[in-house]
Amino acid sequence: MDRMRESLFAILGSLEGLSFLDLYAGSGIVGIEAASRGASEVVFVEKDFRKKAVLAKNVAIVRQPVELRFMPVERYVRTTRREFDLIFLDPPYNQPGTLEVLDAIAARGLLRAGGTLVAHMPAEELPPEEPAGLRLSDRRTYGRAILSFYRRSE
């Protein structure tokens, strides 16, 4: 995971002034890394309340504005009115409904024009190259895991 995370942020480049949405945030390590690389605000969405204390403790070191949302990702995507420059989607392996989440992100306009969505998934759950409203711009393999980089279709 460390090598993959290092590669992810090397590919993304400067995050200075960009908004970052960490879906299925877990411990928050990816969103925290985004903040440390200059993201202006980070929103963490995690439904597992057992991770609440750990996530809250971990993000306490972040100086930028953060928002913690403890709810299902599907509900957040369906109800938020915000747009983000970068979205990181890291569902648990074998999580049903991931493609529907990708479609909802595109349909609801959560990804700003020129923004990037990165989906971290196992190779056997490879997402399509063009989910509704998004187009694949890059794909990298790290063992069994794949990072798929999407841009919003204009």
Residues in the chain: 154
Number of domains forming the structure of the chain: 1
Give per-residue pLDDT as tens, 95-121. 888 888 988 998 898 999 889 999 998
Q: Please state, in angstroms and rounded to a whole number, the distance separating the CA atoms of residues 60 and 82.
A: 23
SS3 per-residue string spanning 82-138? CCEEEEEECCCCCCCCHHHHHHHHHHHCCEEEEEEEEEEEEHHHCCCCCCCCEEEEE
Query: Residue 129 is part of a domain; what is its CATH number?
Result: 3.40.50.150
Give per-residue pLDDT as tens, 116-133. 999 998 888 777 677 777
Query: Which residue numbers in the chain have pLDDT < 70?
Result: 1, 128, 153-154
For residue 128, what are the domain limits? 2-152
Helix, strand, coil percent content, the chain, rounded in steps of 5? 35, 35, 35
Amino acid identity at 78: R
